[in-house]
Chain A
Amino acid sequence: MSEKIVRVDMNDLEVSFEEVPEDYKILGGRGLTSSIISEEVPPKTHPLGPNNKLVVAPGIVTGTNAPTSGRLSVGGKSPLTGGIKESNAGTSFGQKLGRLQVKAIIIEGKAEEDNYYLLKIDNDDVEIVEANDWDGEGLYSSFEDIRDEYGENVGVAGVGVAAELGASNAGIAFNDPEGLPSRYSGRGGLGSVMASKGVKLMVVNEEEAPGKEIEDQETFKEGAKKLRDALNEHDVTKPGGTLNAYGTNALINVINEAGALPQNNFSRGRDERAAKVSGERKAEEIEKRGGQNPHMCSPGCVIQCSEIWTKPDGSDPVGVLEYESVWALGPNCGIYDLDTIGELNRKCNDLGLDTIEMGNTIAVAMEGGLAEFGDEEKALELMEEIREKTPTGRMLANGVEHTAEALGVTRVPTVKGQSMPAYDPRAIKGQGVTYATTPMGADHTAGYAVATEIMGVGGESDPTGTEKSELSKNLQESTAVIDTTGYCLFTAFAVLDIPEGLEGMVETVNGVLGTDLTVEDIPDIGNDIIQTERKFNKKAGISKEQDRIPDFMKEEELPPKNEIFDVPNEELDKVFEN
């Protein structure tokens, strides 16, 4: 057995299996999706046209028993940014692909109009099955149907109503351990790329899977132990640590206290009401309601930062309410009620929308006069406009910039068409440098400077300083590598501080691939991946002139610290040389 690339031609509804080219053998995850997109997709092609492709790739170690390694990447040309996109998710779907020895699935072409299909991926067989029954259906019921039809243990991916609209904010939902559509490759509109091909669902069944090939078992095992030990030792990632006890939402109070939690469409950085939607508050409610916390997004995770949020009586689980989602759908819209946020998150999951972009869009719509900030009922109604495919719903589903243009809003918190996550760059400037310079558009995960600037992980850097190019560059390069390995980015909290953990991570990669990479190779490998992405973007018309934070953040002070984004353009341009 050996790994293979599955190519799905939606023009002719044919599937072929290809050997993995030599250049791709040492890649996985983001490194592989970005290489394939860069090689095979014309940069100026329409993102929803037949010449764009959707690439799904588990990370290098995904599917092994290495700890916290259940990530897979999805790549394509983004309808939201117009550039290259990699969006990754933690889900057993990727682990199953890894164990089936699927290096990547490339979906290309475009099915005949009005027909949707399901890709059924088994050991050595991929079928394209008609799936029009799920047209217009919510993803919670669709995922349940799939489990009823194909079994409880299959991995499921799907796109919802937003993708049927070809909307720029449509994500791809993957199953969580309970089978709910709550794990998302959310950012960048790749759900619409999938739907544009005519693919509505993917089902992966790992029965009789040969398992992930590991070239050097001994090196792999030694590395996995070192990494596991580091994750169990580090204060942030260990069992009982804050991620484990409160989930990612532990950050609400931290970032609010730091004066960097955007409220009412990035109008101020702190509000006393934020405590009502904090991780601490949420953990109390989950315990009371009988939800679950801690919880794993995918099997084999040591950190276990996930959870199951439910209605007050413990019914109707939503899945996880991540920090970014709580912030976007909550404080950024002037909403400080966890149940309303939970229902808004449920609608995002059901309709197939990225929570960050959706929350920002509602906030911009509020600023544009469609509702008052804090109007919970209206926020819920606006999302139903998407389900009903009304003109307003179509506007909203296309994201922040589209909505801002339609409503005449000029305070638009985006970079390269993608809206900012839950850290105001005026108060955490290194994070702003990442927003500005990553090829992905405003993306916190691309180089998480918050770790260093607020949490003191991986060194120290004053968030009000303006010399941030080196910090952001280093983080972006190491992140590109982690996103290629299939490890969760949260492993970085441990391995940035514990050198043996980082060595272990590299050893597991060497074990799987039979390579002799070292820790010192990481920056160059990461830089190569980013340069591949930047070259694609340049050919698509996105150059370093777009590596900028919006003007209003350079002029309008953010209370309570009253800071502006004053990192000079020259500093931004130092991050990457071209």
Chain B
Amino acid sequence: MSKKEKTADKVKVNVKYFATFRDKTNKKQETIKAKNIKELINEIKTRNSKMKGELLKKDNKINESVIIMINGRNIKHLDGIKTKLNKEDRISIFPPVAGG
């Protein structure tokens, strides 16, 4: 697959950050191009250096306590980090959170 074709698979999604992740990224939201959650996470940590330690554990696996939703559904209840992205998906990323 050529580089051009790989880029063509990517879609633009809106990523919203919440709670302490707003401090780590210094922003509330941004638009990112990626084809799946794995790529999206890589792009987020490239753009925001403080997010690496939040999104990934020391063994480079995803931090299961972080909540990542696509259009309101947790990726854990979809295909995890393999979940494909569709154009204009609403991505919401939260640190470990609770209340009630």
Contacts and interface: CB of A to CB of B under 8 A. Distances in A.
Contacts of B67: 254, 454-456
Contacts of A450: 100
Please indicate which of the listed interface residues A234, A254, A490 has the most CB atoms of chain B within 10 Å of its own CB. Answer: A254
B72 A254 contact: no
Contact of A270 (B20, B72, B95): B72
A242 B72 contact: no
Contact of A249 (B22, B94, B99): B99
A450 B99 CA distance: 9
Given A280-B18, A280-B22, A456-B64, A257 B97 contact: no
A248 B20 contact: no
A246 B19 contact: yes
A251 B100 contact: yes
A424 to B, nearest CB: 12
B77 interface: yes
A240 B20 CA distance: 9
B96 A305 contact: no
Interface residues of A, number: 44
A489 to B, nearest CB: 7
Interface in B1-60: 16, 18-20, 22
A489 B100 CA distance: 10
Contacts of A235: 65, 95-96
A250 B67 CA distance: 13
Given A257-B94, A279-B99, 16 more contacts: A240-B20, A242-B19, A243-B98, A247-B99, A250-B18, A253-B94, A270-B72, A280-B22, A323-B99, A448-B100, A455-B67, A455-B96, A456-B65, A456-B67, A462-B77, A489-B100
B82 interface: no
A493 B100 CA distance: 11
Interface string A93-112: 00000000000000000000
9 contacts: A234-B96, A237-B98, A245-B20, A246-B19, A248-B99, A257-B69, A445-B100, A462-B77, A489-B100
B99 A305 contact: yes
Contacts of B16: 257
A256 to B, nearest CB: 9
Nearest to A246: B19
A279 B73 CA distance: 21
Interface in B66-100: 67, 69, 72-74, 76-77, 90, 92, 94-100
Nearest to A445: B100
A460 B76 contact: yes
Interface of B: 16, 18-20, 22, 64-65, 67, 69, 72-74, 76-77, 90, 92, 94-100
A257 B92 contact: yes
B97 A258 contact: no
A250 B99 contact: yes
A455 B95 CA distance: 10
A464 interface: yes
Contacts of B65: 235-236, 456
A-B pairs with lowest CB-CB distance, top 7: A235-B96, A248-B99, A251-B99, A462-B77, A257-B92, A259-B72, A236-B98
A136 interface: no
Contact of A241 (B64, B74, B76, B96): B96
A242 B100 contact: no
A438 to B, nearest CB: 14
Nearest to B18: A253
Given A257-B16, A258-B69, A280-B22, A457 B98 contact: yes
Nearest to A235: B96
Given A235-B65, A270-B72, A254 B100 contact: no
